């Protein structure tokens, strides 16, 4: 038997009454700012340079386009679900209603990678940029206190813990406990600042583009050429370890890497139960956020790889790639380097805020369903926030940020989100078949082609992330199944109701 939630039962959860209900405080602008706040951050300022240096070179812009297509296809499906089922839980809730509890659990558990682990990734990047800012004023945090114990400097100094990364996670978590309205006010301010700085960098940096840096827009992959010329089989190429190291395969891999930069547009749907007019505003916010950020991303990637050669980001540029490009090639604009570093710090803070908010809302819903302990759905009597959940994620995310290197967790977050997106697209196909007469304020167009293409594109980007990411996803999912079988099956609200019949 597939244990599924009925849509009518889900809609009852939007009731304004009861001690376990959120306040509806978010308007359209808040939802758009929520999405932009989650998207423009480490993915843009850090992963762009990494994808360019390791996979695609200047054609990282094509990787952004491919990732945006996958997100747009999934976004149309998200928009239909969010307008029809305006409750917390995002992809977890949607799959619960269409594919049942087991699949919903897998999605909810894997979304921990997309939200909690990505928060840790951004916190590590926040620490890097903080040090970059401090260095401009003649000081810095000792290497061992701002790096993972698994990292060693070129001078042989081993890290102990990334304390700044833990610090920012703690501050943001405490703010979230204080209240959603207060958190969104700060987020709105930070969104305005970082979007303005991104636009300024694009406008000023455009005149510093060196055409030589874009001469080989799609860097050559020798093995790929051997496949085209019939000297190597496609399977040999894919399994040789050369797939994804530039060429067209590199663009696919770059799309998977920079997909991390789009993690966040779905975070809008986690706040559906706190939106004032979810049926109307959720689709506009989800698709609007995606469009705004895609345009900024393409121009940003083009300018960044034009100002500095992509090979530099694999060594001296690294985490603080934007500041490096400005300081090295954009002379007389040192003030912009300082400004953009401050803006990036603010931007990273807003990303952490939105990701942690989304994670707590997903676990809130899972707890309400009995699949997670009740502690995750306990709301503060005054602030109406899941304060206990926020404290737990403070420790969980903070520890990951303090001890795990950023390159380890970066791809994990992408594959977790892509898996969820794939199932959301599949869920739309299923629900159109099982409940065709349901009122849909927003309908995914061009059915069934949009969700089918969404599944194909997202699956392709997952393949591009490589074997290690798949192994990590398998291990993580296995851990989740152990928890589900030992706790979720026993405490599931739906299963308890079935047992009583």
Check whether 90 has a pLDDT greater than 80.
Answer: no
- Mean of pLDDT values over 12-17: 54
Residue 224 lies in a domain: yes
* pLDDT score of 471 more than 90: no
Structure pTM?
0.76
The string of pLDDT tens digits covering residues 353-393 is 878 888 888 888 889 888 999 998 888 777 778 889 989 99
Each residue's pLDDT tens digit, 270-307? 666 677 777 778 788 888 888 888 899 899 999 999 99
pLDDT at 228: 66
Flag whether pLDDT at 4 surpasses 80: no
Higher local confidence (pLDDT), 63 or 319 = 63
Q: For 293-344, what is the HEC assignment?
A: HHHHHHHHHHHHHHHCCHHHHHCCCHHHHHHHHHHHHCCCCHHHHHHHHHHH
Helix (H, G, I), strand (E, B) or coil at 149: coil
Flag the least confident range among 44-58, 236-250, 342-356: 236-250
pLDDT of residue 325: 86
* Mean pLDDT along residues 13-42: 67
Q: Which of 285, 360, 357 is nearest to 27 (CA)?
A: 285
Total residue count of the chain as it appears in this document: 501
| Residue 1 located in a structural domain | no
Within the chain, what is the greatest distance between any pair of CA atoms?
A: 75
Rounded (5°) CA angle 56-59-65: 110
pLDDT digits (tens, 9 = 90+) for 140-190: 899 999 888 888 887 888 889 999 999 999 999 988 888 766 677 777 788
Q: Which of 319, 318, 327 is nearest to 344 (CA)?
A: 319
Total structural domains within the chain: 1
Confidence class for position 239, pLDDT limits 50, 70, 90: low
Among 95-109, 258-272, 284-298, whose mean pLDDT is lowest? 258-272
Phi, psi of 211 (to 5 degrees): -55, -25
Core vs surface per residue 89-98: b (16+ CB within 10 A) or e: bbbbbbbbbb
| Nearest CA-CA partner of 412 in 59, 120, 52, 148 | 120
Going by C-alpha positions, the residue among 108, 87, 95 that lies closest to residue 430 is 95
- What was the pLDDT predicted at 236? 63
* 396 belongs to a structural domain: yes
HEC string of 241-266? CCCCCCHHHHHHHHHHHHHHHHCCCC
What is the DSSP-derived secondary structure letter of residue 446? Answer: S
Bigger pLDDT: 208 vs 249: 208
At 155 the pLDDT is: 83
Residue 63 lies in a domain: yes
CATH of residue 492? 1.20.1740.10
Main-chain phi, psi angles of 142, to 5 degrees: -50, 140
Q: Can you give the C-alpha Rg of the chain in angstroms?
A: 22
Q: Cis before residue 8, ω within 30 degrees of 0?
A: no
Q: What does the alpha-carbon distance between residue 492 and residue 483 come to, in Å, rounded to a whole number?
A: 12
Q: Residues 263, 94, 281, CA angle at the centre, nearest 5°?
A: 65
Q: What's residue 394's pLDDT?
A: 93
In a domain, 16, yes or no: no
CB contact set of 401 (below 8 Å; sequence gap of 6+):
119, 120, 121, 123, 124, 127, 162, 165, 166, 169
Question: Which residue range is the domain that position 323 belongs to?
Answer: 29-500
pLDDT above 90 (res 206): yes
Instruction: Report pLDDT for 384.
Output: 77
Query: What is the 8-class DSSP label of residue 114?
Result: I
Token pair of 487, please?
A: 């706790």
- Contacts of residue 352, defined as CB under 8 A and 6 or more positions apart, other chains included, come to 119, 122, 123, 126, 168, 169, 172
In the chain, % of residues over pLDDT 90: 14
Say which residue the tokens 């805020």 belong to: 353
Closest CA to 76 of 266, 263, 256, 259: 266
Number of alpha carbons in the 13 Å side-chain half-sphere of residue 481: 8
Residue 161 has what pLDDT? 92
- For residue 395 the two structure tokens come to 């420790």
Cβ contact 26:180 at 8 Å:
yes
Look at residue 445 and give its three-state secondary structure: coil
- Determine what percent of the chain is predicted with pLDDT higher than 70: 83
- H helices within 40-90, ranges in order? 42, 48-51, 60-84
Q: State residue 163's pLDDT score.
A: 94
In a domain? residue 59: yes
Cα–Cα distance for residue pair 306/335, rounded to 1 Å: 20
Average pLDDT, the chain: 81
In a domain, 269, yes or no: yes
Q: Do 320 and 312 contact (CB within 8 A), yes or no? A: no
3-state helix, strand, coil in the chain (%, to 5): 75, 0, 25
What angle, rounded to 10 degrees, do the helices at 91-98 and 406-434 form? 40
329 found inside a domain: yes
């Amino acid at each position: 038997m597939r244990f599924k939630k009925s849509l009518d039962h889900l809609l009852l959860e939007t009731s304004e009454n009861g001690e376990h209900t959120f306040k509806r405080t978010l308007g359209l602008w808040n939802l758009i700012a929520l999405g932009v706040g989650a998207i423009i951050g480490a993915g843009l300022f850090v992963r762009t340079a990494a994808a360019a240096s390791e996979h695609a070179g200047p054609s990282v812009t094509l990787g952004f386009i491919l990732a945006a297509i996958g997100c747009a296809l999934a976004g149309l499906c998200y928009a239909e679900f969010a307008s029809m089922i305006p409750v917390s839980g995002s992809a977890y809730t949607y799959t619960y209603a269409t594919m049942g509890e087991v699949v919903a659990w897998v999605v909810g558990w894997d979304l921990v990678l997309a939200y909690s682990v990505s928060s840790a990734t951004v916190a590590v990047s926040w620490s890097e940029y903080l040090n970059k800012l401090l260095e401009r004023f003649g000081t810095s945090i000792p290497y061992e206190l701002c790096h993972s114990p698994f990292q060693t400097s070129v001078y042989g100094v081993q890290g102990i813990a990334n304390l700044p990364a833990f610090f920012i996670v703690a501050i943001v978590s405490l703010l979230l406990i204080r209240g959603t309205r207060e958190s969104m006010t700060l987020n709105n301010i930070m969104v305005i600042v970082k979007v303005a700085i991104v636009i300024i960098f694009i406008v000023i940096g455009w005149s510093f583009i060196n055409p030589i840096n874009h001469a080989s827009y799609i860097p050559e992959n020798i093995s790929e050429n051997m496949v085209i010329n019939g000297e190597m089989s496609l399977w040999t190429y894919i399994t040789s370890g050369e797939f994804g190291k530039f060429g067209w395969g590199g663009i696919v891999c770059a799309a998977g890497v920079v997909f991390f930069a789009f993690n966040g547009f779905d975070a809008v749907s986690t706040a559906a139960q706190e939106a004032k007019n979810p049926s109307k505003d959720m689709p506009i916010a989800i698709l609007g956020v995606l469009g705004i950020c895609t345009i900024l991303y393409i121009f940003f990637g083009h300018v960044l790889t034009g100002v500095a050669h992509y090979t530099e980001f694999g060594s001296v540029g690294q985490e603080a790639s934007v500041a490096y490009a400005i300081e090295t090639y954009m002379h007389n604009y040192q003030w912009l380097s300082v400004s953009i570093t401050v803006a990036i710090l603010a931007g990273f803070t807003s990303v952490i805020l939105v990701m942690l908010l989304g994670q707590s809302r997903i676990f809130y819903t899972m707890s309400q369903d009995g699949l997670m302990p009740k502690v995750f759905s306990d709301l503060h009597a005054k602030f109406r926030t899941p304060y206990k959940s926020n404290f737990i994620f403070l420790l969980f995310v903070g520890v990951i940020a303090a001890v795990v290197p950023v390159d380890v967790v970066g791809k994990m977050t992408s594959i977790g989100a892509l898996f969820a997106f794939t199932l959301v697209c599949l869920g739309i196909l299923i629900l159109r078949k099982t409940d065709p007469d349901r009122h849909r304020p927003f309908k995914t167009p061009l059915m069934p082609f949009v969700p089918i293409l969404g599944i194909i594109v997202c699956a392709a980007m997952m393949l591009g992330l490589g074997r290690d990411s798949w192994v990590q996803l398998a291990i993580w999912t296995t851990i989740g199944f152990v928890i589900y079988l030992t706790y979720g099956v026993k405490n599931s609200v739906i299963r308890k109701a079935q047992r009583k019949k």
